[in-house]
Structure 1
């Protein structure tokens, strides 16, 4: 699990490699990731949009922006959580994602919340640090 807190909003991400949706022979590796957003602030917030930066093992960067998440722009009350699961295909067997959510609080104040960088690594692969 990967975690970040911005403006009292906690974002936790748990990625899982999906072998059943991957086809390495065709150059496709697929990860599902579950995001949990907890509002620890003093005002309700609404998630309006997201921006992802996806980097594969070759260093190729793709940016994805859009309204809401999984077709929703959820309101998250104080001390409440919102959770969703989505996915990401890569042309390489590893990579990472990071980004931000654009939110607005009930007073109309807009702000960005960090989505922590998280690894998209195959299970049971020994990592070598340089």
Structure 2
């Protein structure tokens, strides 16, 4: 599990290998991750955009950007928590991700960036 507080937002990431969606013979490895966001700020925030940097241990790298998360742009009141699940496919048994969210202070309409902590995705077979 990875965790970080950035700009008053606590971001926690848990990773789960998905063997039922993976095929080692075809170099397909699927991972799910659960992200929990908690707003420590005294104001409401809206998550507008996400930006991911995905590194595969085969040497490839890709960047993914888009609006919101899993099709929504959640608003978190002070002290409120929001959680969602998503996934990432790799061509090797190991990789890592990191990124950021663009958020908006709902009082001032000012935009700010929240860092997503780097986390590893490792297939259980690598631990043997």
Q: What is the Cα deviation at residue 126 of structure 1?
A: 3.5
1:126 aligns with 2:127: yes
Cα distance in 1 for partners of 2:9, 2:127 equals 33
TM-score calculated relative to the size of structure 1? 0.94
Regions of 4+ moved over 4 Å: none
What's the counterpart of residue 29 of structure 1?
29
Cα distance in 2 for partners of 1:33, 1:8 equals 22
* Residues 39 and 45 in structure 2, CA contact (< 8 A), matched pair in contact too: yes
Deviation by residue 1:45-91 (Cα, 9 ceiling, x = unmatched): 00000000000002211000000000000001100000000000001
> Which runs of 5 or more structure 1 residues have no equivalent in the other structure?
none
Cα distance in 2 for partners of 1:78, 1:25 equals 47
Of stretches 118-127 and 36-45 in structure 1, the one that deviates more from structure 2 is 118-127
SS in 1 for 2:52: strand
SS in 2 for 1:79: coil
TM-score calculated relative to the size of structure 2? 0.96
